[in-house]
């Protein structure tokens, strides 16, 4: 499934993409004769209900897909998408996790993942315009694949890690590089945690559709120019290792997002450096996940 959050008449709703259409899963379940309350409108609450909610959503989606139930589908272009998890409990970023990116940055080989945090207030929906604070002079982009947690994870073994994954999404880890590189001590989480600095979406692709995360291609275009291209085969710490490592120290909860790192090619490491400007458009794509687009205000 491609699970998504969208703006409904009474607030956020959990839906699923069906081709170029969107299905309101609670409404479809009710039309099927089920209990609409089984699918809450908040994605974090939906994920917290575990397998029961997922099974109910699959039943609702299959029902809506029938030819005679076209009224349960609406054009994707007619709804306002939210970030798939509008208010994650925590966003855990992984720095320098692609081999090619680590090489362009330089420095010693990392023995453990490099962690930073982005707050929920950094999250922005697909199509959003990211507003760069006036005082920021070095705004940068980083295309990333996000792992959305579906089951609580504490002290998880790598062999069991994927059982805790709800699915995969895309995000842009926008960064104010002067706070990351030009001040001492570095303020990485602050540099990456400003309002709107985490556009996310367009949806969560569940593992049975996305497949295992060992071979996911990711590309980023800036104003139509291909600026980043990578594959999760190049991850220094793969998804299973990240979940095992993080869960050794903290509980990962449903709706938490792990930003797995960015390939080579972001603006700070170009010659000369290239910073985001008002009017820029970014397009991040993974064939097995989808396309996330957003702009710079």
Question: What is the domain-level CATH number for residue 287?
Answer: 3.90.850.10
pLDDT at residue 107, as a whole number: 84
Q: How many domains does the chain have?
A: 2
Task: Check whether residue 97 and residue 66 sit in a common domain.
Answer: no
Reported in sequence order, the residue ranges of 72-224 that DSSP labels E, i.e. its strands, are: 73-75, 91-95, 114-118, 123-124, 129-130, 139-140, 143-149, 165-172, 175-176, 198-205, 217-222
Q: What is the pTM of this model?
A: 0.97
pLDDT at residue 37, as a whole number: 95
In a domain, 85, yes or no: no
In a domain, 245, yes or no: yes
Task: Check whether residue 51 and residue 164 sit in a common domain.
Answer: no
Residue 69's domain comprises 2-78
Other beta carbons less than 10 A from residue 178's beta carbon: 16
Task: Check whether residue 116 and residue 234 sit in a common domain.
Answer: yes
pLDDT at residue 41, as a whole number: 97
pLDDT at residue 126, as a whole number: 98
Task: Check whether residue 289 and residue 223 sit in a common domain.
Answer: yes
In a domain, 141, yes or no: yes
pLDDT at residue 131, as a whole number: 98
Q: 70 is written with which tokens?
A: 């076209």
pLDDT at residue 226, as a whole number: 98
Task: Check whether residue 30 and residue 125 sit in a common domain.
Answer: no
Task: Check whether residue 49 and residue 106 sit in a common domain.
Answer: no
In a domain, 84, yes or no: no
In a domain, 206, yes or no: yes
Task: Check whether residue 70 and residue 194 sit in a common domain.
Answer: no
Domain end marker among 51, 78, 105: 78
Task: Check whether residue 18 and residue 98 sit in a common domain.
Answer: no
Task: Check whether residue 215 and residue 72 sit in a common domain.
Answer: no
pLDDT at residue 109, as a whole number: 82
Residue stretches of the chain with pLDDT short of 50: none
In a domain, 132, yes or no: yes
Task: Check whether residue 274 and residue 248 sit in a common domain.
Answer: yes
In a domain, 83, yes or no: no
19 Cβ neighbours under 8 A, 6+ residues apart = none
Domain end marker among 53, 78, 103: 78
130-165 pLDDT, tens digit each: 999 999 999 999 999 999 999 999 999 999 999 999
Task: Check whether residue 57 and residue 127 sit in a common domain.
Answer: no
Q: 66 is written with which tokens?
A: 């029938």
In a domain, 112, yes or no: yes
pLDDT at residue 285, as a whole number: 98
Task: Check whether residue 113 and residue 233 sit in a common domain.
Answer: yes
């Amino acid at each position: 499934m491609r699970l998504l959050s969208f703006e409904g008449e009474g607030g956020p709703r959990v839906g699923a993409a069906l081709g170029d259409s969107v299905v309101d899963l609670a409404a479809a379940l009710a039309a099927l004769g089920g209990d609409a309350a089984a699918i809450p409108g908040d994605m974090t609450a939906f994920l917290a209900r575990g397998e029961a909610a997922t099974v109910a959503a699959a039943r609702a989606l299959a029902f809506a897909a029938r030819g005679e139930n076209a009224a349960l589908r609406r054009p994707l272009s007619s709804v306002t998408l939210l970030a798939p998890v509008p208010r994650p409990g925590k966003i855990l970023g992984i720095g320098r996790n692609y081999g090619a990116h680590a090489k362009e940055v330089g420095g010693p080989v990392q023995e453990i993942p490099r962690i930073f945090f982005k707050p929920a207030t950094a999250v922005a929906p697909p199509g959003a315009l990211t507003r760069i604070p006036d005082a920021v002079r070095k705004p940068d982009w980083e295309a990333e694949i996000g792992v959305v947690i579906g089951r609580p994870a504490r002290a998880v073994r790598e062999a069991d890690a994927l059982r805790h994954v709800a699915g995969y999404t895309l995000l842009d880890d926008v960064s104010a590089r002067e706070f990351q590189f030009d001040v001492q001590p570095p303020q990485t989480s602050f540099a990456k945690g400003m309002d709107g600095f985490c556009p996310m979406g367009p949806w969560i692709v569940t593992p049975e559709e996305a497949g295992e995360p060992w071979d996911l291609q990711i590309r980023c275009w800036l104003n139509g120019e291909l600026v980043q291209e990578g594959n999760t085969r190049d991850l220094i710490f793969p998804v299973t290792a990240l979940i095992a490592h993080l869960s050794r120290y903290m509980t990962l909860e449903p709706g938490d997002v792990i930003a797995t790192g960015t390939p080579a090619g972001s603006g700070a490491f170009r010659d000369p450096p290239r910073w985001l400007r008002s009017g820029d458009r970014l397009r991040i794509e993974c064939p097995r996940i989808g396309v996330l687009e957003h702009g710079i205000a």
